[in-house]
Amino acid sequence: MGTFRRLLRPAAVLFFSASIACHHAEPLIPVTEAGFRLENRTEDSARPPNPGYSPLQLPLSQNDSDRVVAFLNANADPGAARDYNGMLKMLREQSFKYEDILDKPLFKQWFTRVQTGGVVDARDTKPPAFPPIAAQSGHFWWVFQVHGHDLVGLTIFKEAVPKPQARSAH
């Protein structure tokens, strides 16, 4: 029994050390300036509590869906928005829960990376009550605002600093 206890303590220390070393924090995602961001803007931006901006409401209206297409075409290769037609149709026709993005394969064809939180918006004076879900697709972040389990809003922006391109061997 004494040998077991002597071996148990170092094993426990190694286990906890390894579990701490394996923890990786989610990267921070800075919200870019207005020219690279799609959201609703209001005229009353100077007076609190209205911050002057709000996410597009979900489910999307046809007008907001058209704005997303125009934004993607203006900030990416022309025609890039056609790749998102299926997702935009879903976002117009139904409501979603955060589990639909995090746990189900429904959106995986569009998003290469999904994380909860990590979105930093310098305009906000305090963190949101519910951390948003950030989903990356190419050079764009789709940030879904959450209330309870429901996805209630969407902001899209071009990433602040694109990942460096791999160098070719010449």
Q: Is 67 exposed, middle or buried (0-12, 13-18, 19+ CB in 10 A)?
A: middle
The pLDDT > 90 percentage for the chain reads 44
Write down the pTM of the prediction: 0.77
Q: Domain segments of the chain: what residues?
A: 27-158
Which of 18-27, 39-48, 87-96 shows the lowest mean pLDDT across its residues?
Answer: 18-27
Residue with tokens 């170092």: 10
Q: 114 and 133 in contact (C-beta within 8 Å)?
A: yes
Residue-wise pLDDT tens digits, 111-137: 999 999 899 888 888 888 999 999 999
Closest of 123, 113, 99, 109 to residue 51, by C-alpha: 123
Residue-wise pLDDT tens digits, 51-92: 678 899 999 999 999 999 999 988 887 777 788 999 999 999
